[in-house]
Amino acid sequence: MPRLFGTDGVRGVAGVDLTPDLAVRLAAAAAAELAPAPSGTDRPRAAVGRDTRPSGEWLESAVVAGLLAAGVDVDVLGVTPTPAVAHAVGATGAAFGVVISASHNPMPDNGIKFFAAGGRKLPDAAEDRIEARLAEPLPPVTGGGVGRREDAVAAARSTAYVEHLVSSLPHRLDGLRVVVDCANGAAGAVAPAAYRAAGADVVVINDDPTGYRINDGCGATHLGPLQAAVRDHAADVGIAHDGDADRCLAVDTAGAVVDGDQILAVLALALREQGRLRGDAVAATVMSNLGLRQVLATHGIALAETAVGDRYVLERMAADDLALGGEQSGHLILADHASTGDGILTGLHLLARIAATGRPLADLAAVMTRLPQVLVNVRVADQTGALDALAEPVAAATADLGADGRVLVRPSGTEPIVRIMVEARSHDRASAVADALAAVIR
């Protein structure tokens, strides 16, 4: 049987893979794993939030029903960014949090993910225990042990979250004109207010709250509308979020893309300058661009490498007590201010660096040279055999590329696919090496 939990919670097509019955049972199983057993009216508490997807409404009802039946009191936060739920868990002392979102996935998909006490993502072992509990009958909760729901806290939690974000800034954003793409998702409930409260002149695009167009040709996965809006409004910067607002990508005034690796480089140098880059290291995944490794090394900053997935970045940051980490996709973690990746927090701190230095984003991002990166996915019948066949060709290609390139081969965890990533000084060179390696196993 495949593992129910993926790299970021349980995801699938809402109503097909993710059913009301599964949502109720998953919530109850999570309560049994993450919350102390209720005792009379002394019940544990959980925070529940969602993005704008239409399916989020019935999934929210199912999740809340499962939690109440398990004896958990629930703060229903409504449409709110994923990191806002994590913040609410930590700020209120809740036992855990639940987010109903499929992040950057298309609208028909949805997902359920959990935060443990303190607003931290669950380790694999905890997810496995929750999955195992799905097969067990859960003890009935009756009378005063049944949970209660509270909906009136949503506005207050949103205000507190915006105040938290803005209070973290080392410099206000006065004088900056910013276009913010909310991806027609949860960012629309918070991001414009946060950027404006920090002093920016904000132009908002793609903030339809209905959820029918979430991530549809917009946001962090489709930067074209943001690039056009930045030029049309003569803005200094464009900021793009995804459906649940845990990602941040940027475009400069000319419309050039600044990805998560470049933002990591800019913020790493800022934290180093401020004496706040603990361990003189940054956590990033094996997919981070070689250019990031090179600029960090030039400034004497180590790169703590992790597996792909922001949860593994978080684990490495906690283990090494690091202040900064993230992914090329725009999931960045600023550990002094958040327990998980937070796209709005990232955007605010990037803008604060621009405002503090008086330098345009293009100038700041130029500290890193992004090497061309080519990714080829090859469908195979036997992943192990394919990896064995690639061992010698990969070693030869790596030696040939030298310090100016890199080869990374890894199996997909969800499909019969081997992923071949090649970086080189030119796109043509990277493509040629990737195609040659793919041909070995095709």
Q: Report the catalytic residues.
A: 103
Task: Name the burial class of residue 210, with classes exposed (0-12), middle (13-18) and buried (19+) by CB atoms within 10 angstroms of its CB.
Answer: exposed
| Pairing relationship of beta strands 109-116 and 96-100 according to DSSP bridges | antiparallel
Strand 332-334: give its sheet, edge to edge. Answer: 302-306, 281-285, 324-326, 332-334
CA distance 415 to 410: 12
Length of the chain: 442
Q: Tokens standing for 70? A: 């398990």
Of 7, 83, 11, give the one whose Cα is nearest residue 309.
7
The distance from CA 266 to its chain's CA centroid, rounded to whole angstroms, is: 19
Task: Name the burial class of residue 378, with classes exposed (0-12), middle (13-18) and buried (19+) by CB atoms within 10 angstroms of its CB.
Answer: buried
Cβ neighbours of residue 425 closer than 8 Å, sequence gap 6 or more:
371, 372, 404, 405
CA distance 102 to 52: 10
* DSSP letters for 374-424: EEEEEE-S-HHHHHHHHHHHHHHHHHHHGGG-EEEEEE-SSSSEEEEEEE-
Q: Please provide residue 256's backbone torsions phi and psi, each rounded to the nearest 5 degrees.
A: -70, 140
Q: Which residues of 420-432 are buried (b: 16+ CB within 10 A; e: fewer)?
A: bbbbbeeeebbee
Q: In Å, how far are 144, 430, 438 from 372, measured between CA atoms?
A: 61, 7, 18
Of 330, 354, 328, give the one whose Cα is nearest residue 342.
330
| Pairing relationship of beta strands 324-326 and 332-334 according to DSSP bridges | antiparallel
SS3 308: coil
Instruction: Scan for tokens 């918070």, then name that residue.
Output: 190
Strand 201-205: give its sheet, edge to edge. Answer: 201-205, 177-181, 237-240, 249-251, 257-258
